[in-house]
Structure 1
């Protein structure tokens, strides 16, 4: 493995639920306190039924996968101490009328400023960080990542059931998430200055309250020297999270190579990109999407295969080709979270079966 392979880290957001009903359980502070005593640092999310884990940075995807397995198992144990179940699902399968907002000054200010958008949250994603030299490079990389965002969404779609019913979408989270004024695919930026100018205008308008509310699906991290890709639902299984991380690192390494050779990113129209997002959210990995460069409709499975082929040199450089090939094959056979949820629902049309399937997937390979 090359010494110049960028490091990668993963943040996973989880739902805390009542074990039997699957209803969100507002106990994130209790679970986080228990986890802290066990040496686990959990982040609190906007709503009090959510927690977030953050991995260490890794160059080896196998080591990342091992950490993700341990992390999910241990956090699930902490949740169980408070009578709750940890679910890796992107929207609550059963929900109350609203969600209590976590009692911190910043989250309370967001709730006051954005109203029902904040109170109907409970959405769980997966964020992947890849090291880059500087923020200018992160912005240029984001231009290259933009056309790849819909297939990453289709890959991890894990929110087909909401309020006890089928939504008609593989990723309902993606549809709900884009209600935020700063969410979704980012614009094409000419430079870091262009990025910062747009962010400053958003902040001045009140559409974001601070830079952490730049919710675009790829952005320079405000905390780490990384580019952060945040388009995905939280993956159903740890293997899917590791696959996502390997693919994203391959995309970023390929982008860095293009930037080094002055190869511009495809200037994909924002409207066309949003249409591709809708297709990815609607059908997930099992339907058709848009090839944004060629301008044609293609099954998402073919788009995924084309992505792996396009970044194959980067996967080889990172030592990830074998893992990615095996994980993609396994995912195509088993199905992602959305397919598994729908299969469970169609067996008896009982939401309990869906919750059980989600719970099994959450800790699959972690015990």
Structure 2
């Protein structure tokens, strides 16, 4: 939430380049991933982000940076044209940051929330914007060590970007369900698939963006939010879709960080196809659907609670539909763009993995059901984050079935 701008330095995500591809035909994409640092014995989060970033930067430069708390670090890819390139970049950055964490006696963990209880309030990163956020939001930030995945799609026209956002808004809850990877928080089973989404939902400035008529309308709303003190800086809004403040991209921010880089890359190219499809509709004069804000927030909450393979609110119709049915409708909607960019097979494989072993949250619960409990959850996440191949060897559990404390 407390976006400091350091990730938006022109190298990260999907910025343009003079020698890049034809962006009108194939927009580049990029990803920002936030990770927790955990101790290998206690499996609790450790406040060592600055040290790990300094060590990792010798290998990947400014593609790694600090985050809101010292419990976290962030990796970010340069612009990528294809699924294969993006997956390779993600693997390289994760390998470098995992090695740096190990050199500092820690482990890198891709979970939306800390699985095991840490020690006291989060240590805030050393940046003026972070300190200003604490002054403004106060105790709301005491447990704000949450980790996201942000996808960037090259779209330099900001006016077009906010109008594309209107078309993307109804699909955001499905992205929450597909990426859900935070069922546990500080030693408790929350009963939710994405507790990170619940933590974010208590802030007045986070969640789905407003429906807007123009870029001017968007900027006036952001300015009003800043004036109310619900938003720290109108130039850097925290909505789940935004034209990035410093890069020529549209940024989608609703997803939990995912342990499997294949899932991350597949969901990113799915989002690219959704942006391309929406941009074509905007250019034809389609203003996009306008679901009520109340219904959209309800859809967010249901997606955070039930995730994949649960049912949720289809914000386009108000009907309760299984996430898998909503995903099929989404793929049908964007199929031409997926086929044009050669991404249909990658997205289809991702959906098959979800059908077989569920989301990251489902995998965390399956690990917790083993004899090692939450320790096994963290170890499994650490292995996947470091690049261990997921054999998709078990079915997603049908229910929670845990004897762990719930909130």
Range class of TM-score, shorter chain: over 0.9
Count of aligned residue pairs for this structure pair: 367
Does the alignment pair 1:59 with 2:95? Answer: no
- In the TM superposition, residue 360 of structure 1 has moved relative to its aligned partner by 2.2
Among candidates 348, 351, 372, match of residue 325 of structure 1:
348
Q: Is the 8 A contact 1:91 1:159 kept in 2?
A: yes
Deviations 1:79-138 (A, max 9, x none): 111111100000001133311111222212211221112221110000001111411011
Q: Is the 8 A contact 1:101 1:119 kept in 2?
A: no
1:173 match: 196
Does the alignment pair 1:354 with 2:377? Answer: yes
Does the alignment pair 1:241 with 2:264? Answer: yes
Among candidates 34, 40, 55, match of residue 13 of structure 1:
34
Does the alignment pair 1:30 with 2:46? Answer: no
Unaligned runs of 5+ in 1: none
Deviations 1:185-236 (A, max 9, x none): 1110111011100111111222222246521111111011111100000012
Q: Is the 8 A contact 1:91 1:124 kept in 2?
A: yes
Secondary structure of the residue aligned to 2:307 is helix
Q: Is the 8 A contact 2:36 2:147 kept in 1?
A: yes
2:92 match: 70
**Mapping 1:1-367, distance limit 5 Å:** 4-41=25-62, 42-94=64-116, 95-211=118-234, 213-348=236-371, 350-365=373-388
TM-score normalised to structure 2 length: 0.87
CA RMSD of aligned residues (A): 1.7
- Identify the structure with bigger relative contact order (alpha carbons < 8 Å, sequence gap 6+): 1
2:18 match: none
Deviations 1:36-58 (A, max 9, x none): 22233222111111111110111
TM-score normalised to structure 1 length: 0.96
2:405 match: none
Q: Is the 8 A contact 1:211 1:222 kept in 2?
A: no
Deviations 1:139-188 (A, max 9, x none): 00110000000110000000001121210000000000122221011110
Unaligned runs of 5+ in 2: 1-20, 391-407
Secondary structure of the residue aligned to 2:132 is helix
Q: Whole-Å Cα distance in 1 between the matches of residues 229 and 140 of structure 2?
A: 15
Q: Is the 8 A contact 2:225 2:234 kept in 1?
A: no
Cα distance, 1:230–1:335 mapped onto 2, change above 3 Å: same
